[in-house]
Amino acid sequence: MKTKALLFGLLLTFIVMPSFCQNNELLQAGNWKAFLRLNDSIQLPFNFLVKTVNDKNVLIITNGMEEIIIDELISTKDSVFFKMPVFDSEFRCKNNGTFWTGVWINHARKDKNKIPFHANRIFTNEEPIKAQALISGKWEVDFSPGLADSSKAIGEFRQEGSGLSGTFLTETGDYRYLAGRVKGTTMYLSCFDGAHAYFFCSKLLPDHTLSGDFYSGAHGHEKWTAKRNEKFELRNPDSLTYLKKGFDKIDFKFKNTEGKEVSLSDDKFKNKVVIVQIMGSWCPNCMDETKYLTDVYEKDKVKGLEIVALAFEKPVDPERAKQNVLRLKKRFNANYEFLLTGKSGNIEASEALPMLNAVMAFPTTIYIDKKGRIRKIYTGFNGPGTLSHYETFKEQNELFLQKLLAE
């Protein structure tokens, strides 16, 4: 009973303390190799670095081309607790110096939200792996081929020796930064960002197509196939979400993080170009878009731009939902308006905005001109993990926004 009480006290401290206590001597600095056990046969790998910054330990996860800095961390005599930035998830681990074992808990999920975790210190370089397949290029992808819920995607992969990186672009967003390797004729790609734990494996077949499996955390699994197709394109994201017949504008009324009701009819938005961001703090694509929109807002607010985010959060508890949104705002220094809808999911978002045909993706972004007319509704967000696709989007969106602001 004393052990349980002590553990509860530690966990409670982790949740409520504004500053995090650390025992720097017991937390081993250096490189670590970590694994999440998604099921009995699949372990998702990722690397992280423990280092000291300003007398404080930080943990840096390398997620493909992305570095995720974790500074909400507690280390005790034999334990390590840390929260992922932005997302409502955390690790609880035992630490013997060179080996951590514990669990990753994703609070955004109601079921299968705890995944076993372990990590080892890396003392030697990994042996090189020989690749027999060449995967680089653009692929036309089918997820769940032949099934009623099948969907299309674009696979963009870059291979250097046996090293592999890239992502999948879909009509609701991209799979962000994926990294892995090619071993013989089998490819492996994975991503862990604190919200999603993705693992892809596939074999290059004699007909030069790919066939494999995709695992999402402990809850999701589907087959996927791919063929090379440089000309394949997804549907235009501007065409998927639109106003229903009989509607000519969008409107809503929700409270912001200070408890004040906000509506598009408020003086703040009159004669302004307004971007409405339908999002959730649990959504990695929304995180990428929030970072992008924060930069846009700081640059163009003096020209008459306003942005308002409608947050559809997972927690039922309003206070926890608010704290999740505030963490996102703080992480990116996002100074535009965030409203708490008290709702979650595509269905409730569609009900909250009945003038739209559907909310099929988080984020969905609505562009409104100075006269209150909707000029564009953009479904999904393909962010910086898509490289040239993201750069093209930014260039085109900048031209579009400047045109609206000049009208």
Phi, psi of 60 (to 5 degrees): -120, 110
Provide the domain count of the chain. Answer: 3
Per the domain annotation, does 241 fall within a domain? no
Q: For residue 339, give the CATH number of its domain.
A: 3.40.30.10
Residue 348: how many CB atoms within 10 A of its CB?
A: 14
Where is the domain boundary, 195, 228, 261? 228
Same domain, yes or no, for 160 and 61? Answer: no
Q: What is the CA radius of gyration of the chain?
A: 22
Does any domain span residue 116?
yes
Contact 140, 154 (CB under 8 A): yes
For tokens 């080892």, name the residue.
Answer: 120
Mark whether 146 and 286 lie in a shared domain: no
Q: Do 371 and 290 share a structural domain?
A: yes
Assigned token pair, 325: 């949104």
Q: Mention every residue, 6+ apart, whose C-beta is less than 8 A from residue 379.
A: 171, 172, 237, 238, 240, 241, 360, 361, 364
Domain, as residue range, for 161: 137-228
Rounded to whole angstroms, the Cα distance separating 253 from 265 reads 9
Q: Which of 71, 87, 121 is the last residue of a domain?
A: 121
DSSP 188: E
- φ/ψ (deg, to 5) at 177: -80, 110
Please give the Cα distance from 202 to 143 (Å, whole number).
Answer: 12
* Distant-in-sequence, close-in-space partners of 402: CB < 8 Å, separation ≥ 6: none
CA distance 217 to 112: 8
Alpha carbon distances (Å) from 214 to 42, 188, 220, 383, 389: 11, 10, 8, 21, 23
235 lies in some domain: no
Residue 63 half-sphere exposure, CB side, CA atoms within 13 Å? 24
Q: What is the structure's pLDDT at 131?
A: 82
Q: Over its length of 407 residues, how does the chain's per-residue pLDDT go in tens digits?
A: 434 443 444 444 443 433 444 555 568 899 999 999 999 999 999 999 999 988 888 999 998 889 999 999 998 889 999 999 999 999 999 998 889 999 999 999 999 999 999 999 988 776 677 888 899 999 999 999 999 999 999 999 999 999 999 999 999 999 999 999 999 999 999 999 999 999 999 999 999 999 999 999 999 999 999 999 999 999 999 999 999 999 999 999 999 999 999 999 999 999 999 999 999 999 999 999 999 999 999 999 999 999 999 999 999 999 999 999 999 999 999 999 999 999 999 999 999 999 999 999 999 999 999 999 999 999 999 999 999 999 999 999 999 999 999 99
Cα 249 to chain centroid distance, Å, stands at: 30
List b or e across 312-333, with b for residues whose CB sees 16 or more CB atoms inside 10 angstroms: bbbbeeeeebbbbbebbbebbe
How far is Cα 35 from Cα 104, in angstroms, rounded to an integer? 10
DSSP code of residue 360: -
- pLDDT at position 129, please? 75
Give me 232's structure tokens: 């394949």
H or E segment at 403? Answer: helix 388-406
Residues 271 and 402 in one domain: yes
User: Where does residue 173 fall: left (phi above 0), alpha (psi -120 to 50 degrees), or beta otherwise?
Assistant: left
**Would 2 be classed as within a structural domain?**
no
Same domain, 146 and 82: no
**Collapsed DSSP state (helix, strand, coil) of residue 401:** helix
For residues 173 and 382, is the Cβ–Cβ distance under 8 A? yes
DSSP 3-state assignment of 301? helix
**Is residue 287 assigned to a domain?**
yes
Same domain, 220 and 294: no
- Identify whether residues 289 and 397 lie together within a single domain: yes
| CATH number, position 214 | 2.40.128.120
Helix boundaries (H) for 260-387: 284-300, 318-332, 345-352
Residue 216 lies in a domain: yes
Beta strand pairing status for 151-160 and 114-121?
Answer: unpaired
330 three-state secondary structure:
helix
Same domain, 87 and 145: no
Indicate if 291 and 262 belong to the same structural domain: yes
Residues 202 and 145 grouped into a single domain: yes
237 located within any domain: no
What burial class does residue 91 get, using C-beta atoms within 10 Å of its C-beta: 0-12 exposed, 13-18 middle, 19+ buried? Answer: buried
Measure the CA–CA gap between 30 and 185, rounded to whole angstroms: 33
Residues 6 or more apart whose Cβ sits within 8 Å of residue 113? 105, 106, 107
Determine the straight-line distance between the first and last CA of the chain, rounded to whole angstroms.
69
| N residues, the chain | 407
pLDDT for 25 equals 52
Q: Mark whether 213 and 275 lie in a shared domain.
A: no
Q: Are residues 325 and 379 in the same domain?
A: yes
Instruction: Kindly state whether residue 1 falls inside one of the protein's structural domains.
Output: no
